[in-house]
Every structure is written in C-alpha cells, then in structure tokens.
Chains A and B, each alone.
With several copies, the nearest count.
Chain A
Amino acid sequence: MTANNSEMVPLLGVEIAGIRMKNPVMTASGTFGFGEAYTDFFELSELGAVVIKGVTPEPRKGNPPPRLAETSAGMLNSIGLENPGVEKVLEEYLPSLEQAGTPVIVNIAGSTVEDYCLVAERLSASEVVKGLEVNISCPNVKAGGIAFGSKPEMAAQVIRAVKKHTSLPLIAKLSPNVTDITEMALAVEEAGASAVSLINTLLGMAIDVRTRKPKLKNVMGGLSGPAVRPVAVRMVWQVSQVLKVPVIGMGGIATAEDALEFILAGATAVAVGTGQFVNPRCCPEIIAGIKAYCEENEVSAVAELVGAAWKEEARG
C-alpha cells in the first residue's frame, strides 16, 4: 500500500563524515573489488557510495588458498588483504572511478601505524577519494589489523596518527571480536574519527572432518553473511547510542528489510558485502526496497528512521 493520497517522494539522502550520499547504501570493502566487478548488473552511480578493497603501502600477496569456506548462512574468508599496493591503486584503479557518479571511499590497512599514515597521505593526493575507511580490524593479517582492533588505546593511536597525514574524513572500521564494542567506538571517536563502520568479520574457523584439517589454509578466517547479522545489529544498537558521530552498519545485509533493521538500530548508512555475492543486484534492490518502505509507512526522509528503535524504546 503506497500512501495514495500524497505524492510524497521520500528523501533517501544521508550524510556521513561530511560525505553526501544520495542513499544510505554502500558496498562493503573487499567484496566489490575496485568497483569494476558488478558493472554488468547495475551502475555505480546508483549507490550511495562505493568502498573499495583494503589498500596497503606495498603490494600484498595475501594468504595461500583455500581462502574460502562456506558455513551455515555464512562464509569464512582468509584473503589476507591481497592488493596491488597504493601506487598501483592510484594509477590504475582510481582514475576509472572518477566517473563513478558516487563518492569513492578507500579502505586502508597496514601492519604498522606508519603503513596506515603512508597510504592515507598518498591517497589524499587523489581527487577521486572522498573518504578513508581505516581497517583496524582485519582478522586475516598477523601483525597489525587484529591488535589495533582489540585495544582501545592502539585503535585511537592509529586514528590520531592517520589524521595528521590527511584532511580526508576518517571512518574507523571496528572489529566485533571484543568484549566491549562501545569502548572501542568511543576511543576512535575521541581520537578524531568522523564515523565508525560496524562490523568487520567475526573470527572463526571450520575443519574438514575427512582430511582433519582446517578448511582454510590460513586456519582461521573472518565470518560474514546473514549468520552474523544479530551480532552486528546489536553492536550498531549499542554504539549508536553512545557516539556523536554516525555509524555505518554492515554484517549479513541481503535485503531491504535487513538494511532497515540496521537503520532502525542506529546506522546512518549500511554496507553490503557477502549479500552481493549471493545476489549481484542486491544493492539496487535494497535501495528500491528502502524507498518503498518509506512510502508505505509515510516516512518523509530515511534519516528519520536512524535509531528509531531505541528512540522508541527510550520513550517507553
């Protein structure tokens, strides 16, 4: 049922860290390549923003195969930040994104604080890049990632250092593998992050009972997909109530209903990762579904829905 007595078109636009997005749907880093993989299925310009694969100073080979295992309603990956390095990304990939028609956000990673700073500084030279998502939560690299992501002081230290090397807005991408996610979020906000992304993958593993070996060559990997959604929604709910900066929600989003669940829990924008693998038209379908929901429920702007579930809860 559309509101048939009005011609209202809901406003889907949101703003994250000063980045204007025409709708709240972005891609999750590492699941969309450098923006080229899904162009046969929809236009990049339909997206709220595009977030590309994690970039490090030098090229990284990543982990040996097998790098994937399927689990119940989820998947494990141990890609290990394979990427061609920041210089090649600047030369080869970013120019082609100039005409994307949507803000480009680059996910950055490293093994040391210096790595992060270096990548951030180099990327700031590009006109194309509108924001940096600082991945302090990759479960698949031994040094760096996971340690930065599990200690509030270290997370804050990365954000503070990177901030000195760029004027681009910083989005801190947090790991869910912590006792208290709000503590982590408050630490990076305090350190100057303009937004937080929640959640990166849960640390998991699977064993092949036939071979008696881990299914991933790297033993452990990151769990993503619908299986993790309840954990992600919970963290967005917790964090969005204590932060002043906006939250980007992700983890198992595959439908408009899933996306709305995150928005109602407090996410200003959402990102789609594993869902994209299952349905290559996942993002445009979610955008259309959010619009339809707003129309049906006479919501004039999607921004009104952000955190509506806990705002309601607080009212009693």
Chain B
Amino acid sequence: MKYHVPQALVAGHEQTGGGLFFLVLHAPEIAQAAVPGQFLHIRCGKGDDPLLRRPISICRVDKGKGNVMLWYQVVGKGTSLMSQVRQGDCLDIVGPLGRGFEPVAAGKTVFLVGGGVGSAPLVFLGNELAPEKEVVALFGGASEGMLLHPCLTRLENCEYATDDGSFGYSGTVIGLLEEQMKSKTPDMIYACGPQGMLREVVRIAEEKSIPLQVSLEARMACGVGACLGCSFLRSKKSGGGWARVCQDGPVFWDWEVAWDDGEQQ
C-alpha cells in the first residue's frame, strides 16, 4: 500500500555535515509499511517550481513512534528547499514506493557497500538484518564530514572509508571492500552509490560469485510506474526491454541490469 501524506510533520531535522541532512518525518502508516530499499517521493517547494517530487530513500524507521528518517544531500533546487524546512513544519510525501531489497536466502554474512548518501537505504537494511545476520557495513565518503555517524546509523559493525583519509580507511569504499574481502567472504552484498562505484562492486561480486543487489537511481516524474520516464535497459539474461526504476526497482539483482549497453547512460 502506498500513502499520500500531504502534511507529514517534521519531527526533527539536523545537519550531519557539509550539505548533508538527517530528517525525521512523522508518518505512521508509511513507517509501518516500509521495507528497506523503498523510498519516499517528496514535494520540496510550495509553488509549481520545482514541479516534480524528489525521490529519497528511507534511511531508518521507528515504527513505535511512527517516524520515517531520511539522510540526504543538497545538490540542487529541490534538496536545497527541503533543507530549509524546520522542525514543526510539514512536508508533502508519498510512500513507501518501489521494490525493496530481497532478504538473503542462505548464509550468515552480509556486506553493505554504500558510497556517499547511497549509504542511506543500507542503514535501514542493516538494522533489519542485524538481529539474524552478521552485518558488515562499509560506507565511504569524501571526508569525515560526509559520513553518517554511528549514533544515527545505529549499526554496530560499521567501517568507514574517506577519500582524503580524514577518517577510517584512506581511499574509496571499493578499496575498503577489497581489503575486507581478504579476510572475509560475504554470502551476499547489497550496494548503493554512484554508477562508477556500483560497477566496481559488480565486478568484484562477479569475480567471487557473490550474489549482489544494487539500488539504482534515475530521474523520476511519477514515482509509481505510470509515466515510463525512469526506464533503464534490462540485461538480455533478465529478458531485455525496459525496467522502471521506481516500480520494478530501485533495487535490482546485479544480473538484471544491462550495465554496458550503449543506450544506457
């Protein structure tokens, strides 16, 4: 079930670093229904500009309090307006949308590989899996200020990588992943982040035949599968043709995606 909550109360909003914000919205139905990997579609302004909603992954939920939490980065018009809402204001949201992560079939150890704000949906996933699995979160960012603090992730087993070496492993999260794989081979990897990073994770997972799910991004209009605007090409293996990121995803198995098709951007 998808919900439209035109007036979701902003229960909290704090800056976690340069241009990054952690937002707590009160929306009990959505908190109840959401599964990791799903996203909210958010109206950022009040007028007709910016017009379209913005998709933001659910980073955590507190079903008890009925809260949904997001971690987002200011990159343009919409997210900049969003960053200006204050506790006590309301936001117009739709959710939970999309197909979430699929649970691990077998095995004990799970790696979460997140680049930048791509870590957001993995936090939710890690929190859900933690009671049953051994969850190792590997989150990368440009510098210390771009990482989400453990007091917000609530993840116990979290390793960080920073490009500038200001915190944790010095290098990209891919470097960190390779480092970790030397000592431990996960039964499943979940990844979210920039395209370049995802391709690296795909390569590594393929090499070691580790099942992998990725969360993709695309510009969206409807967010509910109606407009066919967010399409990407499926791999031949998965039947070819277009898949809609918003409705058929945003989470896909790595082998469902035609990573190298010329028509794909």
A and B touch in the complex (CB under 8 A): yes
Binding site for B on A (CB under 8 A): 30-33, 36-38, 40-41, 53, 61-62, 64-70, 72-75, 77, 79, 82, 217, 225-227, 254, 274, 276-281
Which one, A37, A72, A278, contacts B53 given CB within 8 A? A278
Contacts of B146 in A (CB 8 A): none
In chain B, what residue has the closest Cβ to A225?
Answer: B51
- State whether B94 touches A280 (Cβ < 8 A): yes
CB of B225 closer than 8 Å to a CB of A: yes
- Scan B31-65; emit 1 where CB is below 8 A from any A CB, else 0: 00000000000010001111111000000000000
Bound-state CA distance A75–B213 (Å) is: 31
C-alpha gap A66/B219 in the complex (Å): 8
Q: Measured between C-beta atoms, what is the minimum distance from A262 to chain B in Å?
A: 17
Q: What 5 additional pairs, Cβ within 8 angstroms, besides A62-B242, A66-B265?
A: A33-B225, A37-B224, A62-B228, A72-B47, A280-B224
Q: Which residues of A contact B222 (CB under 8 A)?
A: 31, 37, 276-277
B229 and A67 contacting across the interface, CB-CB below 8 Å: yes
Residue B230 CB within 8 A of the other chain: yes
B232 — nearest CB in chain A belongs to which residue? A65
How many B residues have CB within 8 A of the partner chain? 35
Q: Which chain B positions have C-beta within 8 A of A31?
A: 222, 226-227
The residues of B that contact A280 with a CB separation of less than 8 Å are 2, 4, 94, 224
B126 within 8 A of A: no
Output the residue of B2, B48, B52, B53 with the most chain A CB within 10 A: B48
A65 engages B231 (CB within 8 Å): yes
| B1 located at the interface, meaning its Cβ lies under 8 Å from any Cβ of chain A in the complex | yes
- Is B223 in the interface zone, CB < 8 Å from A? yes
- In angstroms, Cα B53 to Cα A222, docked, is 19
Give the Cβ gap from B90 to chain A, nearest Cβ, in Å: 15
CA A31 – CA B228 in complex, angstroms?
A: 9
CB distance from B180 to the nearest CB of A (A): 33
Q: Is the CB of B49 within 8 A of A73?
A: yes
Q: Does B228 lie within 8 Å of A225, measured CB to CB?
A: no
With a cutoff of 8 Å between Cβ atoms, the chain A residues found around residue B219 in the complex are 66, 68-70
Quick check: B225 and A37 within 8 Å, CB to CB? yes
When chains A and B are docked, how far (Å) is the Cα of A36 from the Cα of B219? 21
Give every chain A residue within 8 A of B1 (Cβ-Cβ): 40
Determine whether the beta carbon of B228 is less than 8 Å from that of A277: no
Say yes or no: A70-B51 contact (C-beta < 8 A), given A37-B225, A274-B221.
yes
B10 CB within 8 Å of chain A: no
Q: Contact check, A77 vs B221: say whether CB atoms are below 8 A apart.
A: yes
Contact B3 A40 (CB under 8 A): yes
Q: Please determine whether B2 and A73 come into contact, CB atoms closer than 8 angstroms.
A: no
CB<8 Å pairs between A and B, sample of 15:
A37-B226, A38-B226, A61-B241, A67-B228, A67-B229, A68-B220, A68-B221, A70-B50, A73-B51, A79-B227, A217-B263, A226-B48, A277-B221, A277-B222, A281-B4
What residue of chain A has the Cβ atom nearest to residue B229's Cβ? A68
User: How far apart are the CA atoms of A67 and B263 in the complex, in Å?
Assistant: 12
Hey, which chain A residues are within 8 Å of B220, CB to CB?
Answer: 68
A10 to chain B, nearest CB (A): 26
Using a CB-CB cutoff of 8 Å, which residues 107-134 of chain B contact chain A? none
- Min CB distance A89 to B, Å, is 14
Which A residue sits closest to B225, measured CB to CB? A37
The 7 closest A-B pairs by CB, nearest first: A37-B226, A73-B48, A64-B263, A68-B229, A72-B48, A40-B2, A33-B226
Contact, CB under 8 Å: A67 / B224: no
| B218 interface contact, C-beta 8 A | yes
B264 within 8 A of A: yes
For A69, the chain B residues whose CB sits under 8 A away are 219
A274 to B222, CA, bound (A): 8
The CA-CA distance from A31 to B227 in the complex, in Å, is: 5
Closest to B231 in A: A65
A61 with B4, Cβ < 8 A, contacts A68-B220, A73-B48, A277-B53 known: no
Q: Which residues of A contact B264 (CB under 8 A)?
A: 64-65
Complex CA distance for A53 and B225, rounded to whole angstroms = 12
Contacts of A225 on B, CB cut-off 8 Å? 48, 51
**Chain B residues within 8 Å of A37, by CB:** 222, 224-226, 247
Shortest C-beta distance, A244 to chain B (Å), equals 34
